[in-house]
Structure 1
Amino acid sequence: MNVEEVMQELEALGKERLKKMYLSNGAREPLFGVATGAMKPMAKKIKIDQALAERLYATGNYDAMYFAGVIADPKAMTEADFDRWMDGAYFYMLSDYVVAVTLAEADIAQAVADQWIASGEELRMSAGWSCYCWLLGSRPDREFSESKLAGMLDEVERTIHDAPERAKSAMNNFLYTAALSYLPLHDKAVATAEAVGPVEMKRGKKDVKTLNAAESIRKAVEKGSLGFKRKYVRC
C-alpha cells in the first residue's frame, strides 16, 4: 500500500465521536478519529515498512502518525530519526504513545530517553520517562542498571512536584511501573511513591488531576500484578 491508499483507508475508518475525543485531548486537525484496534487489519497486511511510516508521519495527520508508529522499524531508526519524530509530536498522545513506544523497541532506547529526560522540554521529558515505563514493563530486569534506576527514583522524588505538567504524569507512571515491573527496586519505588505523595497535574486552564502512585501501586499489588511484563510494546 502507498501513502494515498493508507490515508483513504484511515479516512474510511474514522469516527466523529473518536475525533472529538482526540481533539479534546490535544489533537488538532487534520485527523479522522480512527480507533487503534481498527488499524490492525491494515497493519497485518503491511507489516513493517519504515519508508511508508516516515511518509505517513510527515503528513501531520494524527491517525497517520499513530499508524506510522505501528508499522515503523525501530531498529532501523537513528537517534536523529527519533528526535525528528519528537519534533513533530505536538501533544502527549504522540510523544508518549507513538514516539516513546516506538523508541522502546530500539536498541538505543535508554540512551535517547536519557537525553530527553534531561532536556527540560515538557514533551521530550514526558516521552523519555514514558519510554522507561514501556521498557520496564516489557524487558527482563537484567537489562537495566539497578543503581541507575535507583538514581532515577531519587530524581523523581526531588523534582516531580516542580516538573512540567505532562512530565509529572510520566514520572508518576515511572514510579508505578518501577514498583510493579522491576522487582529489585520494588521496595524503594514504593517508599519513593509514599514520600512523593499526591501530585497535582493541571490539565487546561482550570482542570486539575491528582496523581497518587502509592495508592495505584497498592491496588495493583492487591490484584496480583507484581512482576508484570507485557509480551509486546506496540499493538
Structure 2
Amino acid sequence: MPSMTAADALAALAALEDPKARAVNERHGDAHGVNLSKMRGLAKQVGTSTDLARELWDSGDVAGQLLGLLIAKPRELSADEIDRMLRGTLSAKAHDWLVNYIAKKSPLGDDLRLRWIDDADADARAAAWSLTSVRVAKKPDGLNLDGLLDRIERELRDAPSREQWAMNETLAYIGIHHPALRERAVAIGERLQVLADYPVPPNCTSPFAPLWIAEMVRRQG
C-alpha cells in the first residue's frame, strides 16, 4: 500500500511548484509548475498504486493527473476507465502520457484502438493512430495497410494538429517497416507536404514522412 494519500501527494506536488517551470510548461499546453524529473522522483517515493492514481486523476489537478499516470498499472484499468481518462485529460502531456504509458501498455490496447479510430473526438482518433503505429511496426497481421494509406491520403492534410501528428507517424511507420508499400507512403508524403517545413534541430530526424522514412531505412542498412 502506498504511504501517501491523495491529499499527501497533491501537497507534495504543490511543494514542488516552480514559477519558472510553470512558464515553460504552460507554453507547451501544461498548466502546472512541477519539474518532470522531480515529479518522477516523487512517483518513485509514492510507489505503484492504481487506486491512488484514480483519486489523483479525479482531483482536477494537472500535476496530479500526471503523477497518477506514473503510478498506475495499465493492466488494472478497464477499457471504459481508460476511455474516460482520455476524455478527461487536463493537459497535452497528460494526453501523451496516457497514450504512451497506459493505452500502449494495456492488454486492451487494440480494443481501444478500434474504439477510438472513428471517434467524433479528434484527440481520441489521435490516440487510435498512435496505437495503430505500434501495430504497424510490431504486429501488422490483420491490418489493412493499403486501407490505412487510403484514409491517410484523404484525411492527413486537414486533420487537427494532434491527430495529424499521430496519423503522419503511421504513414512514416508503414514506409519504414513495409518495403512493398514504401514507395506509396513516400509519394503520399511528398504530395501532401504535411510537416515538410517543421523546424528540426541539428542531428534530429525530420517528422516530414519522406525524410523520416529515408533516414530510418538508411539506419537499417
Answer whether TM exceeds 0.5 for this pair.
yes
- Alignment counterpart, residue 22 of structure 2, candidates 19, 22, 33: 19
Deviations 1:161-189 (A, max 9, x none): 12222211111122233444xx3x24425
Match in the other structure for 2:169: 173
Q: Deviations over 1:20-52 (max 9, x none)?
A: 122122233xx22322x3233333333321100
Q: How many positions carry a matched residue from both structures? A: 207
Letter in 2 for 1:199: V
- Larger CA deviation: 52-61 vs 4-13: 4-13
More strand by share: 1
Q: Which residue of 213, 216, 221 maps to 1:220?
A: 216
CA distance in 1, matches of 2:153, 2:90: 27
Contact 2:113 2:131 in 1 (8 A): yes
Matches for 1:103-182 after TM superposition, within 5 Å: 103-133=103-133, 141=138, 143-145=139-141, 147-180=143-176
Give the counterpart of 2:187 among 194, 198, 203.
194
Q: What is the CA distance between 1:134 and its match in structure 2?
A: 5.1
Q: Which has the larger radius of gyration?
A: 2
Q: Identity of paired residues, percent? A: 21
Unpaired runs of 5+ residues, structure 1, are 202-209, 228-235
- 1:59-96 per-residue CA deviation (whole Å, 9 max, x = no partner) reads 22222211211111111111210111012124433223
- If asked which structure has higher relative contact order (CA below 8 Å, sep 6+), I would say 1
Q: Which of 6, 9, 13 does residue 12 from structure 2 map onto?
A: 9
Q: What corresponds to 1:62 in structure 2?
A: 62
Equivalent position amino acid for 1:34 in 2: N
Aligned residue for 1:39? Answer: 39
Contact 1:199-1:212 within 8 A present in 2 as well: yes
Q: Taking structure 1 as the reference length, what is the TM-score of the superposition?
A: 0.75
Runs of 4+ more than 6 Å apart: none
Following superposition of structure 1 onto structure 2, how do residues 51-90 of structure 1 map, counting pairs within 5 Å? Answer: 51-90=51-90
- C-alpha RMSD of matched pairs (Å): 2.7
Please report how far the alpha carbon of residue 53 of structure 1 lies from its aligned counterpart in structure 2 after TM superposition. 0.5
